[in-house]
Amino acid sequence: MSLLEVTDLRVSFPTADGVVQAVRGVSFSVERGRTLGIVGESGSGKTVLTQTLLGLTPGGQVSGSAMFEGNNLVGLGSRAMQRIRGKEISVIFQDPLTSLHPLYKVGWQIGEMIRSHDKSISRQQAKERAIELLGHVGIPRPRERVNDYPHQFSGGMRQRAMIAMAISLSPKLIIADEPTTALDATVQAQILDLLLRLQQESDTALLMITHDLGVVADIADNVMVMYAGRAAEKATKRDIFYLPHHPYTKGLLESIPHSSASRDRLKPITGQPPSLINLPAGCAFHPRCAYVMDRCLGEQPNLTPVGDAGEHRSACFLPAAAIGLTDEAEELRKQTVEMGRHAEAAAIAEAIAAAPESEGSVIA
Amino acid sequence: MTGSLTTSTDSAFPSDHTFGDDVLVRVDNLVKYFPVKGSGLLARSVTNVQAVDGVSLTIKRGKTLGLVGETGCGKSTLARCIAGLIPITDGKVYFEGQDITNLSRQQMRPYRREIQMIFQDPYGALNPRRRVGSIIGEPFAIHKTASGNARKRAVQDLMERVGLNPEHYNRFPAEFSGGQRQRIGVARALALRPKLIICDEPVSALDVSIQAQVLNLLADLQDDFGLSYLFIAHDLEVVRHVSNSVTVMYLGRVAEAGPGDQVYDHPRHPYSAALLSAAPAADPDSAAQRQRIILTGDVPSPINPPSGCRFHPRCPKAQDLCAQAEPHLEPKAGDPSTHLTACHFPVEAGEDLARAGRREQR
């Protein structure tokens, strides 16, 4: 059985401008000791999704279920959630400076986390444990640094302190929301290394939310790509990177500069992500999709198996065999699109092809 | 560093082969210190944040110089010095052969038209209470080059050029997305047809799909207007994509400089090698194979930088000499004369720095 099993999770927020449909029916599971990477752009719903799991989206209307060790996290009372949050599931946020209280010593904050879940531990014991944890996450001279305030730590050290706090109660699942985005490349490498090491030591499951495909390539086992509150594609890491099916996944991979193709023109995805209040009908990606067909305009595609392996699923009407970045796959896509595209869809496709980004000469 | 300081200003399309004429900006030994006051008993003592400490570089016409380095290495300070936004402590900045170091506001004015900046945060860089037309038209107003209907036409041309709908002339920045706002910033920088645009992390705040749109736009504009870019970013793949040459900075100094492919494929400075190995590549197989060089510790304080080579406390190859003598930025054995490295013990081909680094950690 999976450690966490999320089924058809939906989250919406009523606002003055209308209902923001942040998450629109997402299902996934996380296994013990494995890492699931959730990739998506700003506004794709990835952060709301994980905060909902922790009961951190007050005011949101939530439906669906999230089974964690026999408990449904959706609709769990705040007392029960407090027992799980921190102890069973812990979080590492993007910005370590705002996640730490500036007026309390780092060691005290870690100790507080421990004591809030087990009152029998004395302050002194909690402090000793904090020292041990700080040493474990690679803070030099932890016995001295435990009495420092967050501003005396560098960005990388603060993130280490956050990680120390997150692992202090040996949780079964760690949710890391863009944990390295605010950090420099060399520090990011240190932190990813640390997360991997800790995971191997204690068989913790990791839910890694990021917009950085490089981070996912580095540490994820499985990947879910999100677009406009839904899963566009789910697969093992290698399938996502080498055999993408959904045009959005393909578009993401093609928009990042690759060292091998230095100075070639990038292939961006045209247009902007949609407003979550006013979503396009049918597939939410269709106004930006170069493979738009008639059915994409009215019908919402669901995740269906593609490729050979059963694990690879994509929410797109293109044929299951159209995976990867090869010429054959592209030919198959073109053929399908030609047959399935008329009046309105053809007009959208033309508009996409004529968008300013695809104009201009190729640079030498 | 060689090359003449006299450059002709009239040739818009210089040939690549003549050195000197193709140099747009030359920075010689630039130093920028920020004084900080001590506290308590030391209130009267003044120490310096050595943000930039003796950096030399050249930016060629129509080319892009990429500047990489971690937070606090001085790359943004250097950019602001070149743009003349903050006074320089020591050293020289030449623009088309003219010394523009620490000019008065009045003297600097003509150069402000030639050197423009694009900033990182497309939300913070635009005044939220002014309409887009007035934001992009501001340079025309300041330099009194166009007014009234002519200005409006010029602004709408610019908007069209950067991929914005000219009908949105009267909208406010809040009505645009992040990528579109960055386009507004680009249009404003482009208004006076500058020769150099300093891009300080222009795509860091954007999503990858939008980032590619803006990078393509910058490439098109460079082709069309013969622009030079000083391109600062922490994303190494992005810098490699846009740059002809690359300068790697560490703690206010240049660690390595040279043609992009040369520096990326054959880094000689251990810091460049570590930085490049740390950058995550969106390719699982190469990520699995790669030996990451994990540096220990953090970047030291620029108030009290380490002696000798500033990288030595974190360097897996450091020896006694590194703490004593400061290495010169020079071509190392076997490198082309354009590839400069400031290191006593440069990385050799095939050397396994990852292993050296791990030993250090234990």
Mean pLDDT of B157-183: 90
- Among the partner-chain residues A186, A217, A267, the one whose CB lies closest to the CB of B212 is A267
Average pLDDT, rounded, for chain B? 86
HEC sequence for B31-45 = EEEEEEECCHHHCCC
Contacts (Cβ under 8 Å, ≥6 apart) of A49? A9, A11, A22, A23, A26, A38, A226
CA distance A71 to chain B (A): 34
Helix ranges (DSSP H) in chain A: 46-53, 78-84, 96-99, 106-117, 123-136, 142-145, 155-167, 185-202, 213-219, 237-242, 247-255, 294-298, 327-340, 343-353
- Among the partner-chain residues A154, A185, A269, the one whose CB lies closest to the CB of B209 is A269
pTM of the predicted model, to two decimals? Answer: 0.85
- CB contact (8 A) between residue A361 and residue B223: yes
- CB contact (8 A) between residue A268 and residue B282: no
Mean pLDDT of A36-44: 90
Find chain B residues with C-beta within 8 A of A215's C-beta.
280
In this predicted structure, what is the pLDDT of residue A156? 84
Find chain B residues with C-beta within 8 A of A190's C-beta.
294-295
- Residue ranges of A 330-359 with Cβ closer than 8 A to chain B: 356-357
The tens digit of pLDDT for each residue in A221-279 reads 999 999 999 999 999 999 999 999 999 999 999 888 876 555 678 888 888 888 888 89
CA distance B96 to chain A (A): 25
Q: Is B292 on the interface with A (CB under 8 A)?
A: yes
CA distance B298 to chain A (A): 8
In this predicted structure, what is the pLDDT of residue B258? 95
pLDDT reading at B44 higher than 80 = no
pLDDT reading at B7 higher than 90 = no
Q: Is A218 on the interface with B (CB under 8 A)?
A: yes
Q: Is A17 on the interface with B (CB under 8 A)?
A: no
Average pLDDT, rounded, for chain A? 88
- CB contact (8 A) between residue A266 and residue B278: no
Asked whether A256 and B282 are in contact (CB, 8 A), the reply is yes
Instruction: Please name each of the domains of chain B with its CATH number.
Output: 16-35+49-114+194-361 (3.40.50.300)
Spell A12-42 as b/e; 16+ CB within 10 A means b. Answer: bbeeeeeebbbbbbbbbbbeeebbbbbbbbe
Which residue matches tokens 């093609």?
Answer: A254
- CB contact (8 A) between residue B280 and residue A212: yes
- Which of B5-19, B55-69, B70-84 is predicted most confidently? B55-69
- Residue ranges of A 145-204 with Cβ closer than 8 A to chain B: 154-157, 184-190, 192-193
ipTM for the assembly: 0.81
